[in-house]
């Protein structure tokens, strides 16, 4: 699979086969994140791999209990939950020491996350990046020190669904059909590309 094919075939996965994910694969994802571009080479991101069977439900609970944020549409039903998580952290203490800008730090986190998503895909894993999490609960469950900001959570596992990408014809809202297939409308390329400058 080449890079473009990986990017164009990747979809966020919300239904998984409940089988363990090898630690070495998760570590490989983080190694890819470590090598992502980072502003001023600050390298403020750190990661927690969660693959302990006792902790997995507690992390899932931190996703499900955030006030006002529903569970993923049609996702994570019993027997189809993620097999592992990677928590992306920002070392705020180091950030203050170096004087890195917060905007740059979040861009860095996004690029690192995309590296992990693509390496996971290459290893046969599906993934779903989340920011809608109960950070207080997650901090308590994983004993995360105050000096770390919880940036994002990556759910990982072997896919048990095949979301379908389609051209958006109005709404870009995801939807699930009667057969349980998730549909992901995407805007057309011609609607988002502007060459050189906007017309006068």
Query: pLDDT averaged over the chain?
Result: 88
pLDDT band at 40, cuts 50/70/90?
Answer: confident
Cβ atoms of 127 and 116 closer than 8 Å: yes
User: What's the pLDDT at 138?
Assistant: 96
Alpha helices in the chain (DSSP H): 3-9, 23-34, 56-64, 92-98, 102-122, 135-142
User: What's the pLDDT at 104?
Assistant: 73
Alpha-carbon distance of 102 to 128, in angstroms, equals 24
- On the question of pLDDT at 74 being above 80, the answer is no
Cβ atoms of 6 and 124 closer than 8 Å: no
pLDDT band at 73, cuts 50/70/90?
Answer: low
3-state secondary structure of 166: strand
- On the question of pLDDT at 106 being above 90, the answer is no
Region 2-16 average pLDDT? 90
Superfamily for the 3-160 domain:
NADH Oxidase (3.40.109.10)
Q: What is the pTM of this model?
A: 0.88
Superfamily for the 163-200 domain:
putative fmn-dependent nitroreductase like domains (2.20.180.10)
Alpha-carbon distance of 185 to 71, in angstroms, equals 20
Domain ranges of the chain: 3-160, 163-200
Alpha-carbon distance of 140 to 34, in angstroms, equals 25
User: What's the pLDDT at 75?
Assistant: 53
Region 55-70 average pLDDT? 74
């Amino acid at each position: 699979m080449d890079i473009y094919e990986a990017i164009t075939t990747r979809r966020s996965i919300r239904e998984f086969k409940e089988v363990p994910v090898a630690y070495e694969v998760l570590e490989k994802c983080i190694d890819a994140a470590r090598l992502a571009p980072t502003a001023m080479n600050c390298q403020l991101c750190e990661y927690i791999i969660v693959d302990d069977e006792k902790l997995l439900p507690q992390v899932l609970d931190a996703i499900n209990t955030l006030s006002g944020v529903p569970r993923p549409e049609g996702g994570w039903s019993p027997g189809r939950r993620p097999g592992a998580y990677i928590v992306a952290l920002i070392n705020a203490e180091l950030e203050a020491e170096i004087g890195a800008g917060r905007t740059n730090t979040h861009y860095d986190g996004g690029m690192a996350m995309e590296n992990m998503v693509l390496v996971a895909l290459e290893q046969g894993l599906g993934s779903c990046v989340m920011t809608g999490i109960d950070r207080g609960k997650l901090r308590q469950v994983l004993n995360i020190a105050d000096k770390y900001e919880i940036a994002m959570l990556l759910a990982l596992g072997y896919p048990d669904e095949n979301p379908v990408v389609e051209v958006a014809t109005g709404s870009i809202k995801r939807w699930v059909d009667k057969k349980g297939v998730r549909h992901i409308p995407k805007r057309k390329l011609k609607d988002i590309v502007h060459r050189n400058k906007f017309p006068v």
